[in-house]
Amino acid sequence: MKYQECIDNLNHSEMEVRLRSLRKLEEAVQKGELERPESGNYVNNHIHTIYSFSPYSPAKAVWMAYNAGLKTAGIMDHDSLGGVREFIEAGSIMGIATTIGVECRADFSKTPLNGRRINNPDQRSIAYMALHGIPHTMIDRVGSYFAPFTRERNKRNVLMTENINKIMSPFEIRIDFEKDIKPISKHDEGGSITERNILFGLSLKLVEKFGKGQQLVDFIKNRLELELASKVEGYLLDKNNPHYEYDLLGALKGRMVELFYVAAKAECPDVSEVIRLCCETGAIPAYAYLGDITDSVTGDKKSQKFEDGYLKLLFDVIKRLGFKAATYMPSRNSMEQLERIKSLCEQHGLFQISGEDINSPRQSFICEAMRNPKFYNLYDSTWALIGHEKAATKDVNDGMFSQKAVKLYPSIDERVEVFKKIGLQR
């Protein structure tokens, strides 16, 4: 393919090369040398990039979103805004409206949810939340806020790497945090390192030692004694699988994290502190609903119970804390779960945001579940989110949840309509 080198360079180590390649691809589309994809109404506000963990740079993520026919795309990395400026520029190049945010883990131990498993598979009293629609004038401030937590996280990452080495020592397998993990991250450019980065590094070591196929599957099942779902086992038996290391990572994450996990503490700010940051910067604090899991869509989560057993308490708490929104994934939950969440959002006047968590090459950028008319509200809310980001970038006091906006438009539904119009303006 004539432009394959440009596509490959979207994941180049240097941002300027990535953006230059994206411009060449956009020019090829304009000239008719590359087919223009059919555009739909699809939106996604929760795309991870290489600045936390993902197969995609910000430029590649936008290119993937564009080719999937998305109207809008949103970046959402863990504890890092390192990729947001590239994402904004990439969206501008391809003509896709973008929104930016950051995902973090917050400490709920000083709330009535203390001791509960909230939406975090690995630790009680700690919950994932998203800061959506960050005004562009506040990128540096919000990024600086999370930088110390990233440094604290790396202290724990080193300990978890050592724990993995203890598990793997009988098999003469070892990973080095400095030599094996940092280089496959964007740590030096303000990115974060997560458990996925560590397990990806381990996956590379395992493939190096055992190769792809039956020998590696036997090692996982018989020596590590980890259970493999039949679908995942099929992926790992396929030596020609182009996503091999990512599938291996998913298998390890779903079964192995509990064996090496070190509880997070210093890297998780108190939830009230994060809400305060949002109030000061104009970002929208959103609770990330997970829901009880029976069969993990991505294969990297085991069956487990989360918030569904105490949803009324959960929503009472997050409303009182000052959360303005809830984000949820229509493809990950049952219709019963989703209808319950929508109802509770409406009862509490919470903004509803679509967020399909993208961090694996097998995941589609399109959420087919959103074809259901019951989720059409998530299209409107995405454009309202973009409208908020535009308005708050011009003046942080003009955002969707500013005192001015709430006074003028007390109803969240009315505010969605007002900011949707701003978002749709070119």
Question: Torsion over CA of 328, 329, 332 and 337, rounded to 10 degrees?
Answer: 40
pLDDT of residue 63: 98
Residues 6+ apart with CB under 8 A from 138: 281, 282, 283, 396
pLDDT of residue 300: 45
Averaged pLDDT, 197-205:
98
> Which of the four pLDDT bands, split at 50, 70 and 90, describes residue 371?
confident
> Which of the four pLDDT bands, split at 50, 70 and 90, describes residue 299?
very low
Residues 6+ apart with CB under 8 A from 161: 175, 176, 177, 181, 198
Spatial contact of 149 and 126, defined as CB atoms under 8 Å apart: no
Average of per-residue pLDDT values in the chain: 94
- Can you give the residue range of the structural domain that contains 18? 1-30
Q: Residue 214's CB: how many other CB atoms inside 10 A?
A: 12
Q: How open is the CA angle 374-43-235, to the nearest 5 degrees?
A: 95
**Is 119 part of a structural domain of the chain?**
no
**Is 95 part of a structural domain of the chain?**
no
Averaged pLDDT, 387-410:
97
- Same domain? 140 vs 153: no
- Same domain? 160 vs 142: no
Query: What tokens does 5 get?
Result: 């080198």
Last residue of a domain, one of 200, 235, 260: 260
- Same domain? 245 vs 291: no
pLDDT of residue 89: 98
Q: How far apart are CA 232 and CA 114, in angstroms?
A: 35
**Is 89 part of a structural domain of the chain?**
no
Averaged pLDDT, 198-215:
98
Averaged pLDDT, 220-236:
95
Residues of the chain above pLDDT 70, percent: 97
pLDDT of residue 297: 44
Q: How far apart are CA 149 and CA 162, in angstroms?
A: 20
Q: How far apart are CA 318 and CA 309, in angstroms?
A: 16
Q: How open is the CA angle 329-335-340, to the nearest 5 degrees?
A: 85
Domain count, the chain: 3
| Overall pTM surpassing 0.85 (yes/no) | yes
**Is 84 part of a structural domain of the chain?**
no
- Same domain? 417 vs 309: yes
Averaged pLDDT, 289-314:
76
- Same domain? 327 vs 363: yes
Q: Residue 133's CB: how many other CB atoms inside 10 A?
A: 33
Per DSSP, 47 falls in state B
Averaged pLDDT, 397-421:
97
> Which of the four pLDDT bands, split at 50, 70 and 90, describes residue 367?
confident
Residues 6+ apart with CB under 8 A from 170: none
Q: How open is the CA angle 117-123-125, to the nearest 5 degrees?
A: 55
Paired strand residues for 325: 286, 351
pLDDT of residue 52: 96
**Is 120 part of a structural domain of the chain?**
no
- CB-count burial class (<10 Å; 0-12, 13-18, 19+) for 82: buried
Q: How far apart are the first and last CA of the chain?
A: 33
For the range 336-344, what are the long-range contacts, defined as Cβ-Cβ under 8 Å and sequence gap of 24 or more? Answer: 337/291, 337/292, 337/308, 338/374, 338/375, 339/374, 340/308, 340/311, 341/289, 341/291, 341/311, 342/374, 342/377, 344/311, 344/312, 344/315
pLDDT of residue 304: 83
Averaged pLDDT, 102-106:
98
- Same domain? 135 vs 248: no
Residues 6+ apart with CB under 8 A from 418: 384, 387, 405, 409
- Same domain? 338 vs 377: yes
Q: How far apart are CA 195 and CA 310, in angstroms?
A: 28
pLDDT of residue 1: 62
Averaged pLDDT, 45-62:
97
